[in-house]
Amino acid sequence: MNTRPKINTLQLPGFEPSVADTIDSVQPFRVEVLRSKRRKSTVGAQLIGGVLHITVPSWMSRIEEAEWVEKMSASFRRQLSTDRIDLRARALALSRRHDLPRPREIRWDDAMTARWATCTLDTGAIRISTRLAAFPNWVIDYVIVHELCHMEVAGHGPDFWQLVNRYPKAERAVGYLIAKSGERDGDEFADADFSA
C-alpha cells in the first residue's frame, strides 16, 4: 500500500498518450504512509526528495487510508505538474499555429474548480484551472485553444466550433473532458466557458 511504481513523465514535452491513458496512472514520486498514534484527526502530507510522506491517524481504516493517499497524491501531482507547463509559451505557440488571437495574460487558477477555464473578453485574460495540469498536454492545449477562440467568437455557435476545430485533437479532448467532469454534470461546457 505504501509504494507505487516510480515513473517520471514530467520531462516528456511531446508526450501524447491515447485518450484512455491519463497522467493519473503515473506518479512522479513514491508514497510512504505512516500510521501515527499521536495524530488524532488530521492527515498530513509532505514531499521530501521524491517521496510523499503521508501521515494518517492510527485508528483510520485501510479503506479510508487508501482514499486519503489517492487524494493527497492527486493534489501533489497537480502542483508538480503546473511547474512543467509554461502556459504563456504554449498559448503563443498555439495562437501562431492556428491563426488565433494572442491572450494578454494567461495563468493557472487554483480556486477554479467548477470550470476548466475562463476568458475575460474585456481584458483578454485567460485563467486555466489548476486541475488541468495533471491532464495530458494535448488536452491542456485544447482548453487553451478553446479560450483563444472565445477572443474572436463569444458564444458556442457554429462559427465558434469551426474555429476550435483548427485544433486537430479538439473532438478527442472534448471527450476526455466530458469523462473527467462526468461526476459533477454531463454538460460538456459547464466547465470551459467565457465571461464577458
Q: Which residue is nearest to Zn ion (CB)?
A: 193
Q: CB nearer to Zn ion: give 15 or 161.
A: 161
Question: Minimum distance from CB of 15 to Zn ion (Å)?
Answer: 25
Question: Minimum distance from CB of 154 to Zn ion (Å)?
Answer: 9
* Whole-number Å distance between alpha carbons of 69 and 87: 29
Q: CB nearer to Zn ion: give 109 or 193.
A: 193
Question: Minimum distance from CB of 172 to Zn ion (Å)?
Answer: 17
Give the pairing type, strands 44-48 and 105-109: unpaired
Q: CB nearer to Zn ion: give 32 or 193.
A: 193
- Specify the 3-state DSSP secondary structure of 185: coil
Q: Would you say the C-alpha torsion 121, 127, 131, 133 has a positive or negative sign?
A: positive
Question: Minimum distance from CB of 28 to Zn ion (Å)?
Answer: 31
Residues of this chain that bind Zn ion (CB under 5 A): 193
**Strands, E, within 22-168: which ranges?**
30-36, 44-48, 51-57, 105-109, 117-120, 125-129
